[in-house]
Amino acid sequence: MKYMTEKQIEEARAAVPALHKMLHLNTGTKGLTAQPVIDALVRLTKQLEETEGYAGLSAVQAESLTARARLATFLGCDDSELAFTGNATESLNIALSVRWDAWGTSNNGPVDVLISDHEYPTTNMLFGYLSQIGKVNLIRFSLSEDMQKMLESLEQNFTSNTRLVVASHVDCNTGLRIDAKALCDWCRTKNIISYIDGAQAVGQFPINLHEMGCDLYISNGHKWLFGPNGVGLLYIKSGLETSLTPLCVGTGTMHFDPNGVYEGDPKWAHGAQRFELLATRPAQVFATMHAALDWYEHFGEGAIEARQRELTAQIKARLLEMPDRFRLITPLAWEEASALASFQIIGVSGAQILDFCSAQLTQKRAFIRAVPEFDAIRLSMAYYNTPEEYEILWEMLEGI
């Protein structure tokens, strides 16, 4: 694996403007965008808004579609299996398109959904809503980096009415990484749908969706791909799209008839793209993913991962040096974790941590993520961060 050179790290730091205005240790919420990517977004926006207006939209739309095809290659799937949405939350909402009633259960009640105990708050909101309206019955299983342990929990909670499993590829609370392929293999043996949330995974390490074998996978462009806000990714395994009901109909999702004749069966766009509304969308934001991928790739294959892995190992080691003060709650091994590390501070509650993180942002422009549910702080180790920045944090923490 190629490691980023010192010169590249310097180049990276110089190219990320926000780094010089704040202490940013929270790429898990928003990755910082490098100047060439910002420039691409501005150039495309100007092209549309300053020079060509609506007449320029189709060219930028075309660029957004080639960016999508490039992302499909990056993720190891077919272009027709990938749709752009506005963010990962919008992609998560594909759950509303599932024809839950059609799946049938032995007791004519709602279907059982196995959902992990570490899901993103909005995922809990979404499936909570599906439960409130009587579509699903939620059963929790324990998300774990230890596949054997996770399988035991899945087996214990599996019922004859289970039709879908919801799990994060990388858990947003602790950064633990699951063996997504093993989970999807298990789902296939049980004949149930795998629905994987990769919002914290894409960009952190190589992902090949065909090899993973998942049915539904969601992510975004603004975290570990360091793109602009407004890019969501939705993967639907080829063929599965016909079992889902699109909730939005408009340009892009369906074949357009200039005569306004819509008879017979609806003529949906190919594959996952029946879920991608083109209309007058901010195509420049999607097209900017070309620049984001150019930037990501110009360091060399595997270089960003190698850098983030090394930095994360250093930060974890530093936390472990202070056992009377900190308790690391993230697995140590890179293969079982990611460039996120969460830790508790002995004797400090989640509420105190939340207050501390809010105060650091307003008073010191330090962006750190609290995980109050776990009485923890979550650190992100992005390629542009340096060990010195975390030293500043340890000093700040003396005040808590």
Q: Name the residues that contact ligand PLP, by CB under 6 A.
A: 29, 87-89, 120, 168, 172, 197, 199-200, 220, 232
Taking the least distance from each CB to ligand PLP, the nearer of 88 and 319 is: 88
Query: Min. distance of Cβ 371 from ligand PLP in angstroms?
Result: 11
Strands 366-367 and 340-345: unpaired
- Residues 60 and 242: their CA atoms lie apart, in Å, by 29
Taking the least distance from each CB to ligand PLP, the nearer of 37 and 88 is: 88
If 0-12 CB within 10 Å is exposed, 13-18 middle and 19+ buried, where does residue 105 land?
middle
If 0-12 CB within 10 Å is exposed, 13-18 middle and 19+ buried, where does residue 304 land?
buried
Query: Min. distance of Cβ 337 from ligand PLP in angstroms?
Result: 14
- Integer CA distances (angstroms), 305 to 36, 322, 383, in order: 20, 26, 8
Taking the least distance from each CB to ligand PLP, the nearer of 87 and 194 is: 87
Query: Min. distance of Cβ 168 from ligand PLP in angstroms?
Result: 5
Taking the least distance from each CB to ligand PLP, the nearer of 87 and 344 is: 87
Query: Min. distance of Cβ 175 from ligand PLP in angstroms?
Result: 10
- Residues 281 and 377: their CA atoms lie apart, in Å, by 36
Contacts of range 214-218, beta carbons closer than 8 Å, 24 or more positions apart: 214/180, 214/184, 215/184, 215/187, 215/240, 216/94, 216/240, 217/75, 217/169, 218/88, 218/91, 218/92, 218/94
Query: Min. distance of Cβ 30 from ligand PLP in angstroms?
Result: 8
Taking the least distance from each CB to ligand PLP, the nearer of 4 and 289 is: 289
Of residues 177, 220, 215, 184, the one with CA closest to residue 199: 220
Query: Min. distance of Cβ 9 from ligand PLP in angstroms?
Result: 26
Helix (H) or strand (E) holding 7: helix 6-15
Q: Which two tokens stand for residue 229?
A: 């806000």
Taking the least distance from each CB to ligand PLP, the nearer of 4 and 94 is: 94
Query: Min. distance of Cβ 391 from ligand PLP in angstroms?
Result: 26
Taking the least distance from each CB to ligand PLP, the nearer of 24 and 56 is: 24
